[in-house]
Amino acid sequence: MSSTLNSFQHAIIPIAASSATGDISRLTEHLDSALNQQLPISMAKEVMVHLYAYVGFPRSLNALNTLMTLVDKRRDQGLNDVLGDVEQPEVVLPNSLQIGTENQTKLAGQPVSGPLFSFAPAIDQFLKAHLFGDLFQRTQLSWIDRELTTLSALSVLTGVESQLKSHFQISLNAGLTPTQLHEFISILRLGYDPLAADSAEKILLSVL
């Protein structure tokens, strides 16, 4: 398979998938392999931070604890892992709602509205201000990396087919190509879950 995603993006996919499902054993294996390939700790950490918006704090915190434990173990073994970007001191910004609304509109291809957001305006503001504002302003992952993280999680969860379909479209607006999305499916199939990959592929084909 000719690769159009970089090696770090290849590593993100099984890390995000195993974080989302809470499969700590497989997560440890994928993290160990990724760190051996020089994936920066900051990128792995940010994948797990980003995922809390989709899988909740418990899975995100468990994944972060797994990464922290593994990094400590590898350091004790004399392995020098790549640290990556320094954590930003301020992670909640005063203009997040405005920036998040702009980011969401760009990624969705149009302003996002609807009866659900009128019914529950709080979730609309949280999506705009925190997910698309606070998180998408962080530099540890590109927008493409964030969408690969999200696609990986949604592909292995059940009952989120409509969200996965939306994010395949969003990922195209973020800059991923159809070829790269097919490669994503192949990596998910070979590196994590063939059945989940088959289901995700059907949804991708409906989008393309």
Q: Give per-residue pLDDT as tens, 141-165.
A: 999 999 999 999 999 999 999 999 9
* Whole-prediction pTM: 0.93
| Average pLDDT of the residues of the chain | 94
Q: For residue 87, is pLDDT > 80?
A: no
User: What b/e readout covers 153-187, taking b as 16+ CB neighbours within 10 angstroms?
Assistant: bbbbbeeebeebbbbbebbbebebeeebbbbbbbb
Question: What pLDDT score does 94 carry?
Answer: 78
Q: Which two tokens stand for residue 75?
A: 């350091």
Residue 14 · residue 30 · CB < 8 Å: yes
Predicted pLDDT of residue 203:
98
Condensed to tens digits (0 to 9), the pLDDT of residues 88-97 reads 666 667 799 9
CA separation for the pair 49, 22 (Å, rounded): 14
